[in-house]
Amino acid sequence: MDQNDFISRFRLTAKLRSLENEKEYYQEKIQEVQKDHDELFGERESLEKFAREKYLMKKDTEEIFLIVEE
């Protein structure tokens, strides 16, 4: 069989589409991680905000209220 037959081309096109979707997903994840990195190594206020939001950390004098959407 020829490598350029219809079935092979169809499979390769499907694989290419799948890989392009994966690439887009990982590019979005990279942007999220870059944003987290910038918050962590930015100003102190940003670091505190990051710790509060991501890890539910708080000061001794504070209370945390979680709102769960249903």
Whole-model pTM?
Answer: 0.56
Is residue 38 in some structural domain? yes
Is residue 11 in some structural domain? yes
Q: What is the pLDDT of residues 21-59, one digit of tens each?
A: 999 999 999 999 998 888 788 788 878 888 888 888 888
Is residue 30 in some structural domain? yes
Q: Is the pLDDT confidence value at 3 over 80?
A: no
Is residue 23 in some structural domain? yes
Based on the structure, what is the number of domains in the chain? 1
Is residue 69 in some structural domain? no
Position 68: which residue type?
V
Is residue 28 in some structural domain? yes
d(CA 34, CA 31): 5
**pLDDT of 23:** 97
Residue 29 structural domain: 6-55
